[in-house]
Amino acid sequence: SLLPPLLALLCLGVADPNPDPDRDPDEPWCPYKVGGDGAAGARLCFRPPARGFQCSARGCRAHRSAGGALVANVLRNGSVLLQWGLRHWGPPRPAAAAAALRGFALNCSWDGTYTRFPCDSVELGAACRDYLLAEAHGSVRYRLCLQPRYAPPRPAPPAQCVEFRVEPAAMRDIVVAMTAVGGSICVMLVFICLLVAYITENLMSPALARGGGGGGG
């Protein structure tokens, strides 16, 4: 069916590489709903799984929850790729428990000056094992909590949370620009000092010498 790819394009789904052994190969698309001001504003979207993604030390920092189920890969471009697996939510579950999985609930919040503000909540399908937070604000401490949802009467396990801070891209650009400007200023100062020394040595000294000779005659 062409419906999932079409919806993915409409919802601006982002493809990032990552293999996941828990993912069903027959369900390669991750359905999710993002709710901001309420359930009425939520819309169903699809995104492809992140396959083969590895967080390299040069361009990424990984933050793992206390239980190890949820990992936040903070990238240098300001986006955050979340990854998780069911095997970290306790002992191995039987096939019946896996079949009872209905999806995941992702809640986001960030620290303000005096209080904590909620971000958009996300409901993800049972086939999802990753989610991309494309626009994270710099210099803000985020807290994301993920909880599996099972069909009743099976209770949902406790949520696992991860906290991280995104490096502000604007500040990084300012530092780079200031470094470049500072280097240029240093080069200009060295050039001015050399020019002054040259003028003093080659232009002022002969003039003083001529002035001294004329006075002696």
pLDDT value of position 2: 41
Token pair for 40: 């009425």
For residues 194 and 180, the model is more confident at 194
What are 5-62's pLDDT values in tens digits?
A: 444 433 444 333 344 455 445 556 899 998 864 445 567 899 888 877 888 878 889 9
Q: How confident is the model at residue 123, as a pLDDT?
A: 94
Higher pLDDT, 161 or 182: 161
* Range picked from 163-167, 176-180, 194-198 for highest mean pLDDT: 163-167
Nearest to 119 by CA among 138, 139, 103, 142: 142
Model pLDDT, residue 217: 46
Considering the domain architecture, whether residues 84 and 131 belong to the same structural domain is answered as yes
Write the CATH number for 77. 2.60.40.10
68 found inside a domain: yes
| 47 CB-near residues (< 8 Å, 6+ apart) | 8, 11, 13, 14, 15, 29, 30, 32, 131, 132
Please check whether residue 151 lies inside any domain of the structure.
yes
Rounded to the nearest integer, the mean pLDDT of the chain is 74
Flag whether 85 is in a domain. yes
User: Is 137 domain-assigned?
Assistant: yes
Q: What is the pLDDT of residue 23?
A: 47
Q: Domains in the chain: how many in total? A: 2
Q: What is the pLDDT of residue 6?
A: 40
Do the Cβ atoms of 48 and 28 come closer than 8 Å? Answer: yes
Does 213 reside within a domain? no
Pair (93, 185) in one structural domain: no
- Residue 47: count other Cβ atoms within 10 Å of its Cβ: 23
Q: Are 173 and 162 part of one and the same domain?
A: no
Which residue range(s) make up the domain with 42?
30-167
7 — phi, psi (to 5°)?
-65, -35
Per-residue pLDDT at 212 exceeds 70: no
pLDDT at 188 over 70: yes
3-41: b (≥16 Cβ within 10 Å) or e = ebeebbeeeebeebebebeebeeeeebbbbbbeeeeeee
Q: How would residue 142 be classed by pLDDT, with cut points 50, 70 and 90?
A: very high
Residue 7 lies in a domain: no
Q: What's the pLDDT band for 63 if we cut at 50, 70, 90?
A: very high
